[in-house]
Amino acid sequence: MGDDVATLVESSTYCAAVLVDTLVPLGRVLTEALGCGAAAERLTPAQYRTLLFLAKHDGLSSELARFLGVTRSSVTTTVDVLVGRGLVERVPSRSDRRCAPLRSTAAGQACLSTARARLLERVALLLDGLDTEQRGSLLNGLVALHRVLDATELRTLHAGAVAMERVS
């Protein structure tokens, strides 16, 4: 690695700029992949992330909003569409009629699986443009970034749980 490249790699600001600049075209590719296929299989990015969240655990709209980083009203709009398509259901609570946990349906899980397969296929085509060494470097960097994001998410979830305990 040349001295100039080594200096750039050492700069987290430069790496951040490259990552941020890559997210926009990558997001466009992912959005296009989610919008392909039969009408019943098409998802927006928000719908995909909602199904992804609900595939891991049932949750309240407030938890989903926190996960997505959006307002409750935005979540309500997304969930209403998914409920209308039969991909998500609201489960009536026996203890509190005001809250209705959300759950992915079998159709929602199948739609998520199909969407994920389309995303993986599309991204794999992009990665075919890299040689083995480049893919290895990218993989190492992505795994490291994923660890940092997981640790950040755990801290955020913990802070949210502590705040909820204070309210209770």
Candidates 46, 52, 43; CA nearest to 76 is 46
Q: What gap in Å lies between CA 154 and CA 112, rounded to an integer?
A: 24
Q: Judge whether 41 and 86 are in contact, CB under 8 Å.
A: no
pLDDT (tens digit per residue) in 14-31: 888 999 999 999 999 999
Task: Tell how far CA 19 is from the center of its chain.
Answer: 17
- Residue 114: pLDDT band (50, 70, 90) is very high
pLDDT (tens digit per residue) in 52-104: 999 998 888 888 988 888 988 889 999 999 999 999 999 887 776 667 789 99
Average pLDDT over residues 34-38: 90
Could you tell me whether strands 102-104 and 88-90 are parallel, antiparallel, or unpaired per DSSP bridges?
A: antiparallel
pLDDT of residue 154: 64
SS3 129: coil
Please, what is the average pLDDT of the chain?
86
Token pair of 92, please? 């009536």
Quote the Cα angle for 30-32-37, to 5°.
115
**Residue 88, exposed/middle/buried by CB under 10 A (0-12, 13-18, 19+)?**
buried
- Residue 156: pLDDT band (50, 70, 90) is low
Reply yes or no on whether the pLDDT at 162 is more than 60: no
SS3 119: helix
pLDDT of residue 126: 95
Q: Judge whether 141 and 130 are in contact, CB under 8 Å.
A: no
How many Cα atoms within 13 Å fall on the side-chain side of residue 144? Answer: 6
Q: Which amino acid is at 125?
A: L
Q: Judge whether 88 and 105 are in contact, CB under 8 Å.
A: yes
Q: Which of 9-13, 40-44, 125-129 has the lowest mean pLDDT?
A: 9-13
pLDDT of residue 44: 95
Reply yes or no on whether the pLDDT at 161 is more than 60: no
